[in-house]
Amino acid sequence: MKYEELKSHIEVFICNYKREDQECCLDKGSKELTDKLKKWAKEETNKEIKVFRSGCLGKCSEGIAMTCFPQKNYMLDVRIDDFEEIKKGLAEALQKFKS
């Protein structure tokens, strides 16, 4: 086993899980939101914010569900329209980590 330091300061996980038996984040547009945030993070944050698709976060009825580290909080009932607000919040958090 070996360790390697992460280059990112913030890691964002967005549920992209598809459920057949109940509501799920994928049906609410989580893939589109993930793709937009991944593109923004890659192009605008020099990969200091990394965005990942995740499996179910256990908050299916409150999706789209996301979580961020190291903040360790859930963002629930997220909509694609929240993209600008999410971006702003992540950019502000990144500045705090870097200062």
Give the largest CA-CA distance in the chain: 46
- Measured from the CB atom, the residue of 57 and 68 that comes closer to ligand FES is 57
Cβ 33 to ligand FES shortest distance, Å: 12
Cβ 34 to ligand FES shortest distance, Å: 12
Q: Cβ contacts of residue 29 below 8 Å, gap of 6+?
A: 64, 79, 80
Q: Which residues bind ligand FES (CB under 6 A)?
A: 15, 17, 19, 24-25, 56-60, 63, 65
SS3 2: coil
- Measured from the CB atom, the residue of 60 and 93 that comes closer to ligand FES is 60
Cβ 67 to ligand FES shortest distance, Å: 10
Give the rounded distance of the alpha carbon of 56 from its chain centre: 13
- Measured from the CB atom, the residue of 25 and 90 that comes closer to ligand FES is 25
CB atoms within 10 A of CB 49: 24
